[in-house]
Structure 1
Amino acid sequence: MRFAVGEYAFLFLLVPFLALVYWSARRRTVARLRKLADPRLGDWLARHVSDRKAILKAAFVFAAVVFIVAALMQPQVGGRSTLVKREGIDLMFALDVSKSMEAKDIRPSRLKRAQLELQALIEELHGDRVGVISFAGVSFLQCPMTTDYAAAKMFLKAVSSDEMPVQGTAIGPALTLAHKLLTEGETPSGSRMVVLLTDGEDHGEELDKAVAALSEARIPVFVVGIGSMSGEPIPEYDKGGAMLGYHKAKDGQTVMSRLDESRLKRISEKTGGRYVNLQAGGSLTELHDFVKKLQKQEFESSLYTQYDEKFAWLLWPAFVFLLFASFVDERRGSRWLGVRS
């Protein structure tokens, strides 16, 4: 037998403590009655109240406390060991947080919609590991690979275009970082993928090399295009969140941010992934179906031992002792369980 909550053993100290409190209180009560009450009352109590039965009643209560404490410690017997395996894939989310993602051709904005879609996708995952990269002109690892989905969603919710030190949309470095993080472990090919969410306006030169490296490593890129090909102005805000106007070029013309769909489709095709356009009615449901087709890998195995709980065995005696205590008649001359006084 073992106890799952052995730290409750200190509660057994309650028994002698309660016994001491009970005995002291009883002695003080008797002394007070003898001092203050009519002598005839003391004589009546002596004739009609049995000390032996009062002590027996208290003993039943203390015995019940012992069994209740033992039950709180959760006694367990037996033990059946089961090997539990956790399987899944590695998903690295690369989220564009450049200023162009503040455009509102998709409500509430391109960035907010991407965050909401990813959070909803994470809710549907079971056992897969996820990581988060945010990028604009530079890339940062926001959340390393984890199965703690609450933490991943927290990091996703926290990303903002205001926190990026270099603006622009450099997809290449983001994919290079994703490739590095996915290949530095022991995850087998076919169990890894990148999910890229962007409007596709890449202004860097590293993209082709990153795509080739991902293709060689057999890491598909599922690309989610966010925005419209007709274009949308990029709003600008002050520190308080109030809109100041739209981003303008050096010549004073309002800059229109357009979805570069052809570039994004090439990324997905060359890596064996898939492309969806959120504005055109696409959704991450397709991504969920794509994930199901990938080969699951075993992340970890743990030996889980299940015991039979036996606390009820101790609660029944506690109940019986309390029941006995309720039936003890402290009056002299009565008989109960062979005790007479």
Structure 2
Amino acid sequence: MFSNITFEDPGFFWLLLLLPVAIAWYYWKRNKQTAEFRISSIKGFKANPGILSKLRPVLFVLRLLALTFIIIAMARPRTVDVSTRTNSSKGIDIVMAIDVSASMLARDLNPNRLDATKAVAEDFINGRPGDRIGLVVYAGESFTKTPITSDKAIVKSALEGIEYNNILQNGTAIGSGLATAVNRLKDSQAESKVIILLTDGVNNSGFIDPETASELAVEFGIKVYTIGVGSNGMALSPISVLANGRIQFGNVKVEIDEGLLKKIAADTGGKYFRATDNEKLEQIYEEIDQLEKTDIEEFRYYNYDEKYRPLVLIAAGLILMEILLRFTIFRSFI
């Protein structure tokens, strides 16, 4: 009954300081609690005090306990059950378009560009509880990994399953990846629609021109943040596949079409970022997270359960017990 108790008026606990004063006063006055009869000598009386006279302080203890419970009750002990409900007043639909071409296995980020992107993207997803998120992957062609959904578990599971394979034609079809992401968002009713397009190369595949895809994004009111991934200079990247299926790595010059990515971002009202290492990539997603904030209104409901009533009843019972004992068993001694 008294677990998770809070007190509405804890200032009343200062009254407990009166209890030591009351105890001291009682012991100072204890010999004057009964009537006195003065005689010249008590030699003719045999001293044989009864047990009831020794139990007389019980009445004071009962009164003291009653006073204690009353003070605690005045402090208004209670428990509170808090329930919350959130309401997103500005929903944002986000599609993350991730390049999964072979060059994303380059090791200039730790352990490689693709795994570093997945780790940072997962943190980004965890920080967007009020938004719907979808995933698009692309290399020489593109497809939707996950349509926009509010189920973050599904999105994170799909993100974890992203890996380089030979299912998609090799290459970097930035236009196709962007167009697929636009297609996922064009019918969205969200107040804000955002694409985060990540690549580490230049547009060299696909049937859709990146500028055409960018125009589609503008037409549907979609903002595009572009991220170029890769260090400056040379990077240890895949150069061939050996007969046993293993990928052979070699130093390859990092080439990112920053001009194209900057134009896409500028035309759609977004921003271009360059991630040259893991820390920079994390900072980029954090900045995008701050730029695209969702207004979430939280409602809290408090259900208070007052606990002072049992204390008042206990105090009343103690006072009643003291009165009954005073006028019955201890009547001859008080």
Pick the TM interval, shorter chain: 0.5 to 0.7
- Inter-partner Cα distance in structure 2 for 1:291 and 1:218: 19
Q: Residues 104-159 of structure 1, C-alpha deviation per residue, up to 9 Å, x if partnerless?
A: 12221111111111011112222111100011011111111112222211111111
Alignment partner of 1:90: what SS?
strand
2:263 pairs, out of 261, 266, 281, with 266
Note the aligned Cα RMSD (angstroms): 3.6
| 1:303-314 map, 5 Å | none
Contact 1:222 1:268 in 2 (8 A): yes
- Is the counterpart of residue 183 in structure 1 residue 180 in structure 2? no
- Inter-partner Cα distance in structure 1 for 2:209 and 2:194: 19
- Inter-partner Cα distance in structure 1 for 2:165 and 2:243: 9
Matched with 1:195 is: 196
Matched with 1:14 is: none
Q: For 1:107, give the aligned amino acid.
A: N
Which protein is bigger by CA-based radius of gyration? 2
- Inter-partner Cα distance in structure 2 for 1:277 and 1:158: 25
Report the Cα offset of residue 286 of structure 1. 4.3
Matched with 1:332 is: none
Contact 1:228 1:258 in 2 (8 A): no
Contact 2:97 2:136 in 1 (8 A): yes
Alignment partner of 2:280: what SS?
coil
- Inter-partner Cα distance in structure 1 for 2:87 and 2:174: 36
- Is the counterpart of residue 282 in structure 1 residue 280 in structure 2? yes
1:105 pairs, out of 108, 115, 125, with 108
- Inter-partner Cα distance in structure 1 for 2:162 and 2:84: 40
Which one has a larger percent helix, Structure 1 or Structure 2?
1
Report the Cα offset of residue 232 of structure 1. 2.6
TM-score, normalised to structure 1's length?
0.55
- Inter-partner Cα distance in structure 1 for 2:154 and 2:215: 31
| 1:115-194 map, 5 Å | 115-188=118-191, 191-194=192-195
Report the Cα offset of residue 167 of structure 1. 1.0
Distance 1:228 1:290, change over 3 A: closer
- Inter-partner Cα distance in structure 2 for 1:145 and 1:134: 14
Contact 1:192 1:219 in 2 (8 A): yes
Q: For 1:86, give the aligned amino acid.
A: S
Q: For 1:170, give the aligned amino acid.
A: A
TM-score, normalised to structure 2's length?
0.56
Alignment partner of 2:171: what SS?
coil
| 1:209-288 map, 5 Å | 209-235=212-238, 236=240, 243-246=246-249, 256-279=253-276, 282-288=280-286
- Inter-partner Cα distance in structure 1 for 2:107 and 2:282: 19
Report the Cα offset of residue 83 of structure 1. 7.6
Alignment partner of 1:210: what SS?
helix
Give structure 2 stretches of 5+ with no counterpart: 1-82, 306-334
Distance 1:239 1:149, change over 3 A: farther
Q: What is the total number of aligned residue pairs between the two structures?
A: 222
Distance 1:130 1:178, change over 3 A: same
Alignment partner of 2:262: what SS?
helix
Instruction: State, as a whole percentage, how many aligned pairs show the same letter.
Output: 30
Q: For 2:129, give the aligned amino acid.
A: H
Give structure 1 stretches of 5+ with no counterpart: 1-80, 248-253, 311-341
Matched with 2:5 is: none
Distance 1:150 1:130, change over 3 A: same
Matched with 2:317 is: none
Q: For 1:167, give the aligned amino acid.
A: N
